[in-house]
Amino acid sequence: MTIPDLRGLAGQPVIVGGGLAGVMTALMYDRPCVLLSSGPLGASHPAAASSMLAQGGIAAAVGADDTPALHAADTLAAGAGLCDPGVVERVTADGPDAIARLAAFGVRFDRAADGTLVLGLEAAHSRHRIVHARGDASGAAIMEALVARVRRTPRITVLENARVHALESHDGAVAGARVTMDGRDIAWPAPAVVLATGGIGGLFGDTTNPLGAVGQGLALAARAGAVLGNMEFVQFHPTALAARHVAGPMPLISEAVRGEGAVLIDEGGERFTAELAARDIVSRAVWRHMRAGHHVFLDARQVLGTRFATRFPAIDALCRAQGIDPARQPIPVRPAAHYHMGGIVVDGRGRSTVPGLWACGEVACTGLHGANRLASNSLLEAVSFGTWVARDLSTLAPVTSAEPPRDMGAAATVRPASHEAWRRRMARDAGVIRTRDDMREALRVFAPLADGDDGALVRAMVLCAALRREESRGGHFRADFPQAAAVATASRLTLADVREHTATPAAKAGEMTQTPDNGVVA
């Protein structure tokens, strides 16, 4: 891609991220825009969108026995006191319309013979309300339909293999981005930048996310001066497939399998926890059982047996690729970093605290998830806030004259954001169960590197927020502070806060080592 090819894109909003939130924003915006994807849009690759991997589907109160109020109550309960009730009410009320919007874009949801939606049950939901598309391959089915629509929409310009490495500011507002594309560094003026860059699972040793999900958008926003919120809250999925030979994200054994009645057992066949408790509770139970020397399995033999392949064809294929027949064998599982409840603080329009910068999807902290995301609310949030961001962008005055993107020369070499030793350390010291000493040691490692390395910066932000929260709540559990505080308080953090927190002799003296870390990681 060369500069003459980009001149016609001057003055258009730039949407960064090729997952569901970014794609939905582009589709719902009613004017020309640019959609930047770090890899091939809609494809599976190391930097792919997590949306492609989603199995569970979308939570929406569309059943005859369900209401948005019931959905909201379940969401608030899972969020452990840190949800914004107004946001929860608004998003859950939008659920049925969100399903309709997706269907209008060509998503074919699973339906019964009478045409009604087939609804699944997942942990901490009081009703069957999980809407699927192509069974347990819902994310891929949804994304394939939307990407096809994007490619048929002339006003959306898709630029693939394009990475934003910095945001440009003017008079305290974001005024564009610096984009690496085809080995060139492009200065890209824009009236609005929307970050929809996903989560941080790739920063941890075991994760269900693409390894490219390392919090790039969080680092961009922090360096631009944005406020970040609830960075300490990381959800660990309790049942990732403990595969022997997997390069990349760990295959996920969807919560829907437990919703069908599958149970968690150890090598002796003994059950040890309530399978449909909230994810943080189940993850800690699995983690502790593993730390006690046990192996953990998800057993669907009695409840599904030979029906497993029909009910969960994608999961069945994943298991069989590892030599496991889930109809006849229990599935080995372990916790893995799955979803980040924290992110860029935004309002109901998706606006961050920095003018000119919007955010939606997992990179944003909207107030929906609180301390612990309710299963399958993430895709709903992406659809709802992607829509609302697009509508807000549509209220901006059109740009009549704007600078075109400029070629600034050869792009600098990008260093890996997630070294394996760093991932293991983060999993051990800031994983399912945390302590002050472990987190301080990890911060000593990452703080000196934060100014020049985005991955180290995001790790430092998570650690700083986790050290500040001296209680256990939702996805954040501290063995040294195992009880929840009497009052739930959301956390807020800026780059300046991180620098102040880490400006200690111990932090300044920290040195990164590549010594392998041993032991159980999450």
What's the pLDDT at 511? 38
Q: Please give the positions annotated as active site.
A: 279
What number is the average pLDDT over the span 202-206? 93
Split at pLDDT 50, 70, 90, the class of 519 is very low
Sheet arrangement for strand 162-170: 162-170, 173-181, 184-189, 406-410
Read off the tokens for 62: 């569309």
Residue 512 pLDDT more than 50? no
Distance of CA 522 to the CA centre of its chain: 16
How many helices and strands in the chain, by DSSP H and E? 16, 20
Q: For 252, phi and psi rounded to 5 degrees?
A: -95, 135
Q: Mapping DSSP to helix (H, G, I), strand (E, B) and coil, where does residue 113 land?
A: coil
What's the pLDDT at 243? 75
Length of the chain: 522
Integer CA distances (angstroms), 51 to 37, 40, 143, 213, 398, in order: 13, 14, 7, 11, 31
What's the pLDDT at 388? 98
| Strand-strand pairing, 14-16 and 193-195 | parallel
Q: Are 173 and 44 in contact (CB under 8 A)?
A: no
**Residue 509, CA atoms < 13 Å, CB-side half-sphere:** 5
What number is the average pLDDT over the span 323-341? 96
Q: Where are the beta strands (DSSP E) in 196-266?
A: 228-229, 234-241, 263-266
Split at pLDDT 50, 70, 90, the class of 295 is very high
Q: Mapping DSSP to helix (H, G, I), strand (E, B) and coil, where does residue 332 land?
A: strand
- The pLDDT tens digits for 100-142 are 999 999 999 999 999 999 999 887 899 999 999 998 889 999 9
Cα separation, 247 vs 227, whole angstroms: 34
Q: Are 250 and 209 in contact (CB under 8 A)?
A: no
Mean pLDDT rounded to a whole number for the chain: 91
The 10 Å Cβ neighbour count of residue 438 is 20
Nearest CA to 522 out of 381, 382, 336, 396 is that of 336
Residue 417 pLDDT more than 60? no
Cα separation, 55 vs 38, whole angstroms: 22
Residue 460 pLDDT more than 90? yes
The proportion of the chain whose per-residue pLDDT surpasses 90, expressed as a percent, equals: 79
Q: Residue 350 is which amino acid?
A: G
Strand partners, 263: 299
Distance of CA 8 to the CA centre of its chain: 33
Q: Are 203 and 459 in contact (CB under 8 A)?
A: yes
Cα separation, 20 vs 51, whole angstroms: 6
- The pLDDT tens digits for 230-263 are 999 999 999 999 976 556 788 889 888 998 999 9
Residue 201 pLDDT more than 60? yes
Q: Mapping DSSP to helix (H, G, I), strand (E, B) and coil, where does residue 13 land?
A: coil
What number is the average pLDDT over the span 506-522? 37
Cα separation, 423 vs 330, whole angstroms: 28
- The pLDDT tens digits for 385-402 are 999 999 999 999 988 778
What's the pLDDT at 271? 97
What's the pLDDT at 505? 46
Read off the tokens for 229: 């919120």
Read off the tokens for 436: 């002050």
- The pLDDT tens digits for 158-184 are 999 999 999 999 999 999 999 999 899
Split at pLDDT 50, 70, 90, the class of 464 is very high
What's the pLDDT at 520? 39
Residue 522 pLDDT more than 60? no
Name the least confident of 177-186, 194-203, 411-420, 463-472: 411-420
Provide DSSP, 55-82.
-S-EE---STT--HHHHHHHHHHHTTT-
Let me know if 355 is exposed, middle or buried by CB neighbors in 10 A (0-12, 13-18, 19+).
Answer: middle
Residue 277 pLDDT more than 70? yes
- The pLDDT tens digits for 338-379 are 999 999 999 999 999 999 999 999 999 999 999 999 989 999
Give, to the nearest 10 degrees, the angle between helix 20-28 and helix 138-151: 40
Residues 6+ apart with CB under 8 A from 436: 467, 478, 480
Residues 6+ apart with CB under 8 A from 345: 226, 227, 228, 229, 352, 353, 365, 492
Cα separation, 287 vs 196, whole angstroms: 31
What's the pLDDT at 64? 96
What number is the average pLDDT over the span 413-417? 62
